Structure 1
């Protein structure tokens, strides 16, 4: 809390998502392939349960529904990759990075204060290259 008694909202900073188009394609594959396989497997059961005549229109409508679901999932994935949307989602813990990391990143004012992304190496590259002057 600040001095005036009001809650201060923590500032968060989220990096732009890399390869947003690749994420969209992965989502389409992850949603689309199972949807089409599932629809193909249960299509006869659905048609019998609904008492519909077996013709190409029914199959077309159901497969088109699977395609629409896949397209919507891909579009949502792309929208979630927009930096402002990703930052908003991070505030609720469902962004591309954990909220604690986004808060820590925003708190750091210089590159030196950024959290380490990799563990330090114990390998002395100078020794590997034959340069032993220290």
Structure 2
């Protein structure tokens, strides 16, 4: 696995801020980001919309492997140099239910969390340098 493509919702403030945070980290596996609204999504990954990327995080490897939900989130952490240990801990069977529950809560409430935390979306702040 040489590269991961993270599908994300650029209209979601939390999602856009998570993207900028991931980009700012030292990556062991390079992360590429593709907005769900991009026409390139259907060209690059035909049929992927059936997995409902607007409802769950999806990561695709350069080999075509697909991770969804908390597995995608943990894989993104694993791709970061200083978060691999956390990814391994949270993926352990004893903590995986906690990771899954946390992922689900944040995922289901990402828009209200964005508003509550006043996180701007990529369409309103394309550089990620807007005041927070």
Point out the structure with the larger helix share.
1
Fold agreement, TM-score > 0.5: no
Q: TM-score, normalised by structure 1?
A: 0.29
Structure of greater Rg: 1
